Amino acid sequence: MRTDARVADALSDALLAQGALSVSVEDAQAGTAAEAPLYGEPGMAVEPAWPQSLINALCERHADPGQLLAAACAQIGLAQTPDYRMEPVAEEDWVRRSQSQFEPIRISAKLWIVPSWAQAPDPDAINLVLDPGLAFGTGSHPTTRLCLRWLERTLRGGERVLDYGCGSGILAIAALRLGAGAALGVDVDAQALLAARANAERNRVDARFIDTETATDFQADLVVANILANPLILLAPLLAGYARKGGRIALSGILEAQAQEVMQAYAPWFALRVSERDADWVLLEGLRA
């Protein structure tokens, strides 16, 4: 169904409350010249939904979509029920379909990310075995690729690497495969830490992963953090403290328009510069003073 920004979020919540299995809100103009990107992250003002939004609700097979929608509209006091279109979702092997969407990803000439069910295109390359899961970091996002290429360019062998906001553990694992001497991953999400440890075992590397509450005196030659701009700004003193004098830092998850603000936050410790761009995203790097 199509709706507007005024009610899109409230109607989505109401649909879930009335029994929808899942609800998504998309730009009704997606794929046209009028498509508009929306970005949000902690610390930013919440942007409204698109002026014209498309709501997709998944329902049980025997549910009455019209009744579900009417109840959701009544819940939020919406007098007029939006027009809607219904289509069946056929039974399917969703595991196989999901796997078919993820193919090996070439990061560079010598670095690939390969799902466990796929054949490595280049057996002589460094092939990181990583399956999509609950934790961020499969190599499909530009920010992850920026960090991986930075590690490949920067590592000389034997360095101590800190991966802050490690998600799937991909950066810590890649660092060890590229020659780092030690790698520590830190994350606030317990599920991410479980995934990271499993991925490290799968790739036969001795990376260590801890939560943000665990004290550590780890001093890193390389600090890499692929998070988002606002959290990175708040974390500036902490991440600077993990970097040894003369050590390097790489920050990603930053839109080009946010780069200057992040650079200013790190200025007391690092003279950051834009090292590389990928789509709308940038990677900032600098040397610890």
Cα–Cα distance for residue pair 170/130, rounded to 1 Å:
8
pLDDT for position 90: 84
Q: Looking at the chain, which residues constitute the CATH 3.40.50.150 domain(s)? A: 133-287
State whether residue 7 is helix, strand or coil.
coil
Residue 157 has pLDDT above 90, yes or no: yes
What is the pLDDT, as a whole number, of residue 135?
72
Q: Is the pLDDT of residue 49 over 80?
A: no
Alpha helices in 34-188 (DSSP H): 65-75, 94-100, 142-154, 170-177
pLDDT digit string (tens) for 173-212?
A: 999 999 999 999 999 999 999 999 999 999 999 999 999 9
pTM assigned to the model: 0.77
Q: Residue 93: pLDDT above 80?
A: no
Q: How far is CA 203 from the centre of its chain?
A: 21
CATH class of 133-287: alpha beta
Confidence of residue 95 (pLDDT cuts 50, 70, 90): low
- Which of the pair, 275 or 6, is modelled with greater confidence? 275
**Number of other CB atoms surrounding residue 47 within 10 Å:** 11
Per the structure block, which two tokens stand in for 4? 């507007």
pLDDT of residue 167: 93
